[in-house]
A and B are shown apart, each in its own frame.
Chain A
Amino acid sequence: MTKYFHTGLMFEPRAFWDVKRVEATTEQQTVLFDTREAFMNGSRYPIEITEFSLAPINYLAAADLAGTGRASGQAVFNAAEAVLAVRQRQNYSRFPIRLPGYSSTPSQEPGMAYYVPQVNNLKNASGLLGISHKRFDRSLVLPQYGSVEIQLSTYIGAAPAMATVAPPTFSVAWFEAGGLLEGSSRILTQRPLRDAASPESALYGQVIPFNGEIPSLLSTNATFPPEHLFTTKQFRAQSPTVQGAQRFTGVTVQIDQIDYDAIFSGGGAPPVDAPMTPLSLRTGCRIRTTDGGTKMDWWRPGAPIGLVLNTISAALTYRLPRPITLEPGDQMEVELTVPPNAGSEEQPDTYSIGVALNGYAVIQG
């Protein structure tokens, strides 16, 4: 453990992210992720970027009903080209990088599509475990009574009309090193995941596809409802009986959407004959240390869970051969060239893409 201290440096995970709605056209187009300062290091500390994650955000299903696969937004990643650059200073490639030309990091959880064919009602389930896990590149060290807070947002697109099922639930685990069994965890178990009462209070707007009114299962107007917070008090209450600083090695958010998937796949209206999208690509999160550490948000609040907790997640993740360091004030430019995508009946006008640059802040003093 001493090796984590003798440098005098501390590390906290960080991510820069953005979600863009793109107009579906028959022409190839270049999309600049230009939300103001989304990719700027506005902190006092250098940030090392180690991974690049992409995912279709806020889709109900992972493919369209006609089975073409286009409407999910997933298809664009088969043909997309990316540009990563620091404006007027550093381009990381001479031409846009063709994403299919690079091997992504194995980061998916097992899918259900090819489970026993006799059990066809499971083939459209969103996944086996429903988790988004982040293993920290560098451990997060907190003082003995330090704490960290995680909060989830709502999602939109609750259920087809007349569905009467329990809402999805979420759980959280912080993985901690040390102790008699080499580790332990601080856990928040199974809380209902609330949905947004209206598109105005939803982080990423209306879910795609949108088929008229979508009744809620358990709704709220708050974007980050207090019930979705793993509080400092709950976190500290699980402090192990060990002296000194604590070293955290990862965090997991698990969303149980078994019943939620079933209402769309099991004959509800409108049924979706396609794999459901994990709610981790429709729900945002915010994390910050509250005692110890920088006490800054690890990323702009609202990052899709799957984009930033990306060691195991539904997002597509590329690990950079070497980290890119963003000094305070540096800004990355992220562009994606996407192929023609004319839209379809279910997804008439737009599709939606999320991008994140993941890494960690290097903190001195």
Chain B
Amino acid sequence: MIKLKEKKFRIETDADAKKHPAFPKEDTIYNPLTREFIIKQKKISGKDWRLVHNGKKVIDLIEGKGITYTLEKCVEFKTRVEALKEIKILNLDTKEFEILNLDSKDLEGMVIS
């Protein structure tokens, strides 16, 4: 289950807004007239597999334990294989992620049905 928690705060200058790590994310809203900066924290608590990514690369692939909090994109899958298929479909970069949760051999030769 993914819940969104919105947080609003004021940022004094455009430059400061652009420096915020959440600035380029799709869920972030910045109004330069009001200086209002809105971020949406995602809270994922399901028991399924959680794929966290930024549209370009895998941020994390987590087996559902505890609660994951992120500003990145997050999708839940029933199985790890489904999550891996999504990674392949989206052509996400897994280089940074290496082998910690995601063995590269899992992605090689994967048949996407």
* A and B assemble together: no
A residues in contact (CB < 8 Å) with B: none
